Homo-oligomer: A and B are copies of this chain.
């Protein structure tokens, strides 16, 4: 324990990420995950009665078995792992379990995963660095559309409280089974933007993170049924969320100063909302998402009938997807549709799958484009 405290303090002196610091230095009987310089990481779980413990981690292709010691502590050392932030969980005799001694959790409706950060020599864009930090605020808005109080998580950039400047707003929507906290806790939207602002690579902006679940069940992505759900979302966005934000935060209230983007279901919601309200949004980002030809034809044929007019309004349509994503083919089909319809766009095909590692990557790329002249 003494060695651990010294290691913690040394790390603390280096201004390491709060979350990494949290993972390593909070007091606990079993330390997990333990990340070593170079990217090796040891996971541990005290489970003296378990017969079999495995780990599932998004840097692994399959599950790996842990070994039990005489104190009933199971462990495994893996890596070196490529620097990034990865979800993982244990599987104890067939049941998924988050890491009990890791406070860094993945907010989700359907599973409880933990997160591990593997730091890089050059700090990750998503790591806490020694720069000025914005604030992340939890607040509640009255949803006229859903007739209830709903949560919003809102980032304001460094300096926001010290001036009277108005800022552009990125509305950033998370995916199916995610919550309003996921872009903050897993997506690290706040730290990525802190770092990009410090590097003068992004415009200071407000980020609004709503809860994307419209209580309509989970229709298949981008079907006409999904479009019905997107409509509910669009209504909530324009009738309740935007008015709440522009009343309570110093947001520039014009379309050129509003972007909408999201991951997975949130990407579908963003494409639909952005296109159906081009009067309200000029910037659209789709991370690992798409609309079907069917949805496009039903709702947006007027936009592709006059592409020049549409392109004048659309300051950016950005689409990114990983080549191992289970939505890869559909997303590429939508990119092809935009090409065919002469709608201007930027696209990025990366390695990897339908992951938050990719989602953060796409956010990092697009934050450098939004609201630029």
Spell out A's residues near B (CB within 8 Å).
1, 5, 8-9, 12-16, 18, 21-22, 25-29, 45, 47-51, 92-98, 100-101, 103, 105, 107-112, 128, 130, 133, 135-140, 146-151, 161, 176-177, 179, 184, 213, 215-218, 248-249
Contact = CB atoms under 8 A, between A and B. Distances in A.
Interface of A (DSSP majority class): loop
Contacts of A21: 148-149
Given A47-B94, A137-B138, 12 more contacts: A1-B217, A18-B150, A26-B179, A27-B109, A27-B218, A28-B109, A49-B95, A50-B93, A103-B108, A133-B139, A133-B149, A138-B138
Contacts of A13: 147-148
Contacts of A128: 140, 149
Contacts of A1: 217
A146 B373 CA distance: 42
Nearest to A22: B179
How many of these chains are in the complex? 2
Contacts of A96: 100
A138 B139 contact: no
Nearest to A94: B49
Nearest to A14: B148
A4 to B, nearest CB: 9
A129 B234 CA distance: 26
B26 A213 contact: yes
Nearest to A92: B95
A301 to B, nearest CB: 31
A103 B93 contact: no
